[in-house]
Chain A
Amino acid sequence: MRVSTGSTTGRTGSTTGGAAAVGLPRWAFAPAAVGGLFVLLPLVAMATRVDWSSYWSLVTSESARAALLLSLQTSAASTVVCLVLGVPMALVLARCRFPGIDLLRSLVMVPLVLPPVVGGIALLYTFGRRGLLGETLEVAGLQIAFSTTAVVLAQTFVALPFLVMSLEGALRTAGARYEVVAASLGARPTTVLRRVTLPLVWPGLLSGAVLSFARALGEFGATITFAGSLQGVTRTLPLEIYLQRETDPDAAVALSLLLVVVAVLVIAATRQGRPGRSVL
């Protein structure tokens, strides 16, 4: 790409109003529209069932507030854990070559295809009182199952692949060429990571973190199996919604809409923060 030296704008890669979708068959629009409606219609249907007169009182009830707060706290905590563990995992998977790495890559993705409830059972047999590590942890005075920590672990378990996948893809696309140049200029590996690698894959890292947060926010199966449903301790918003559905469908619908709004806000906020041009 070449921009004349007199130009002061540096924006590249932005599509303007004049862009045309060349080579897109016309028939593709119909199924695409159906797909869009398939996602949108249930949300609209749910919104029509909301009892707006009592909406505010329903979503500000003590149990609802406790559930929302717990959900946001645990999702934020599990996103941090995902970053701490997932960034090095993605780096190893994208940059290292050793026997068995393909197997390792597949294993990391297992939580994606595993039913969350199975993940919850697996966690129970690992960190539960009679689990693989449970007894050791109990000796150390730690009891994880059915605590807020268990909620975070369950959410991390299901959300981690999203971060690793997103970041590993970004790392592969960016390639190692910039890192080779940086090292040849005398930069130590940690300096290369901090000043070159991570800034280059920033969009991938951000979208991976957002996906992880969203997945953690919606986590249900593993949480209820491994952490149970104790108000203020382990009962996150999805659990609260499921519980309310039995007794108070209006409250369940109101909270569902709240969860949708929170998810949309999170995605919108990160879209706003992302620069309009590609980094590469």
Chain B
Amino acid sequence: MTLAFAAALPARGFDVELDVAEGRTLALLGPNGAGKSTALGITAGTLRPHDGHVTLDGRPLVRAEDGRTRTWVPPHARQVALLAQEPLLFPHLSVRQNVAFGPRSQGAARRAADAAADRRLAQVGLAHLADRPPSTLSGGQAQRVAVARALAAEPRLLLLDEPMAALDVDVTPELRQTLKHLLAGQTAIITTHDVLDALLLADEVAVIEDGRVVERGPTPQVLSRPRSAFAARIAGLNLLTGVWTGGGVRTPAGEMVHGHDPGDGLAAGAPMTAVFRPAAVSVYLDERHGSPRNTFRGTVRSLEPRGDLVRVRTDHLAADVTPQAAAELSLTPGTRVWLSVKAAEVDVYPG
């Protein structure tokens, strides 16, 4: 076991046990204030637990008993890198100097550190921005540089604290693809309240509510058969599996699904999954054309209230519509409908 974590902080009502195996990624899901950031803070060394221990590769990072810290490794000596919501690139350093900061701080010579930085920047596709000041980057570019910077420090454990939360929705798919690529083989913990992050990036999921782990297990299992209220609420994504055709995913039923380009190097015929949220799906009584859309034929099977919206379920898909729309379309079980979702709302990934 690479990371073993068992810590309590009664002042915050926090009592959590976690572990992450070598090269695996654990997603911490949970509502705001549930204790996700507390877990990261204790691991990174910005918070002291009241009781418990954190061990990385068999090396104790912190051990506390009843409010007394028995073992304490300072944050800089933990080999635990932190990627926050905001990129927090050092504004007085160039992009290259930012990425080289970790190697330089750990004693690498300037030349070697710069070479490592350029390599990492190439991995996130931003080698051409190396000499820029961070203030000239877009939000998505800055966050990718922050990813390169965190990885350049060669951490034993990478902590990602809602890395997509502060970004525009139109750049998150790109960063998610970058992370999916780079997190392979990297031991990591990612906190999120977006189920897509968990689905695409994490091998395992732990759901935290009120400072306790209420559910944990392999990602597909937790998301397909959620037992906790939170997991149930955020799961329920539309999942379509099929094969890659070079331009989209063809399902066994013959439907074509277009989405965000998953990147190069995919052979036609590779197994693929397309994912989108029910809220991104529109319901019509006739077929719509134009704009890059995916449309699916279906029959309404059930209607159920879901907060301010109504969840419309067909045989294999779900859509969230307003009660007004449901009434205008006279949706009842048995109604034949067209479901439509913009390609931009669809994530496509191998597997």
Interface residues of B, count at CB 8 A? 36
- Is A271 positioned at the interface, with any CB of B under 8 Å from its CB? no
Residue of A2, A188, A199 most packed against chain B (CB within 10 A):
A2
Decide if B153 touches A279 in the complex (CB within 8 Å). Answer: no
A185 within 8 A of B: yes
The reply to whether A184 and B105 form a contact with Cβ atoms under 8 Å apart is no
Residues of B within 8 A of A1 (CB): 135
Is B88 a contact of A178 with CB atoms below 8 Å? yes
Check A16 for interface membership: any CB of B closer than 8 A.
Answer: no
A181 to B146 alpha-carbon distance, docked (Å): 10
Also in contact, A279 and B92, with CB within 8 A (given A3-B135, A187-B101): yes
> Is A54 close to B, CB under 8 A?
no
* Contact (Cβ within 8 A) B153 A186: yes
CB-based contact B153/A185 at 8 Å: yes
List, in ascending order, chain A residues with CB within 8 A of B101's CB: 182, 185, 187, 195
**How far is it, in angstroms, between the C-alpha of A184 and the C-alpha of B90 when the chains are bound?**
14
Residues on A with C-beta less than 8 A from B88 are 177-178, 181
With A7-B136, A177-B84, A177-B88 as given contacts, are A187 and B76 in contact (CB-CB < 8 Å)?
A: yes
Let me know if A150 is at the binding interface, CB within 8 A: no
B84-108 contacts to A, CB under 8 A, are 84, 86, 88, 90-92, 101-102, 105-106
Closest to B132 in A: A10
Is B133 a contact of A279 with CB atoms below 8 Å?
no
Q: Mark A178-212, 1 if CB is under 8 A from B, else 0.
A: 10111111111101100110011010000000000
Query: In the bound complex, what is the Cα–Cα distance between A44 and B139 (angstroms)?
Result: 51
How far apart sit A183 and B106, CA to CA, in the bound complex (Å)? Answer: 11
A280 within 8 A of B: yes
The CA-CA distance from A1 to B90 in the complex, in Å, is 15
CB distance from A232 to the nearest CB of B (A): 43
Given contacts A181-B88, A185-B81, A186-B153, contact A2 B105 (CB under 8 A): no
Contacts of A183 in B (CB 8 A): 45, 74-76
Q: Given the known A-B contacts A181-B84, A186-B76, A186-B105, are A2 and B139 also in contact in the complex, defined by CB atoms under 8 Å?
A: yes
Q: Are B102 and A185 in contact (CB under 8 A)?
A: yes
Asked if B149 is an interface residue, CB under 8 A from chain A, the answer is yes
Which residues in chain B, 130-162, are within 8 Å of chain A measured between CB atoms?
132-133, 135-139, 141, 149-150, 153, 155, 159
Residue B82 at the chain A interface, CB threshold 8 Å: yes
Q: Does B319 contact A (CB under 8 A)?
A: no
Q: How far is the CA of A202 from the CA of B82 in the complex (A)?
A: 25
Residues of B within 8 A of A136 (CB): none
Known: A184-B82, A185-B102, A188-B76. A280 touches B139 (CB 8 A): no
Task: Pick the 9 closest A-B CB pairs, nearest first.
Answer: A187-B105, A185-B102, A184-B82, A183-B75, A185-B153, A199-B92, A186-B106, A183-B76, A186-B105
A-B contact pairs, 7 of them (CB 8 A): A2-B139, A7-B136, A10-B133, A184-B75, A184-B150, A184-B159, A185-B81
B contact set with A: CB distance below 8 Å: 44-46, 74-82, 84, 86, 88, 90-92, 101-102, 105-106, 129, 132-133, 135-139, 141, 149-150, 153, 155, 159
A sample of 8 more A-B contacts (CB under 8 A), given A185-B153, A188-B105, A189-B74, is: A1-B135, A5-B138, A177-B84, A181-B84, A184-B153, A184-B159, A189-B76, A200-B92
